[in-house]
Amino acid sequence: MSKIFEIFKSLISTDDQAQRREEEAYLAQAVDNYDLERRMRVIDRGQRYL
């Protein structure tokens, strides 16, 4: 049972890392502080940003 849990945990971890990379890339495209703050609010609200 623990082997299945470890596999499931690694899949979730990989998905979380991919989402974090996408969010960081989105934030890195900001052209100024106002744009960065707006983008951060979009992520916080769970809105689609891509």
pLDDT tens, position by position, 1-50: 688 878 777 777 788 888 999 999 999 999 999 999 999 999 999 987 65
In a domain, 50, yes or no: no
Residue 39 within any structural domain of the chain: yes
Residue 33 inside a domain? The answer is yes
Helix locations, the chain, DSSP H:
2-28, 33-45
Q: Is residue 28 part of a domain?
A: yes
CA distance linking residue 4 with residue 41, whole number of Å: 36
Domain that holds residue 29: 2-45
Please tell me the total count of domains within the chain: 1
Report pLDDT for 13: 77
> What confidence score (pLDDT) does residue 1 get?
63
pLDDT of 28: 97
- In the chain the first and final C-alpha atoms are separated, in Å, by 37
Predicted pLDDT of residue 2: 83
Report pTM.
0.71
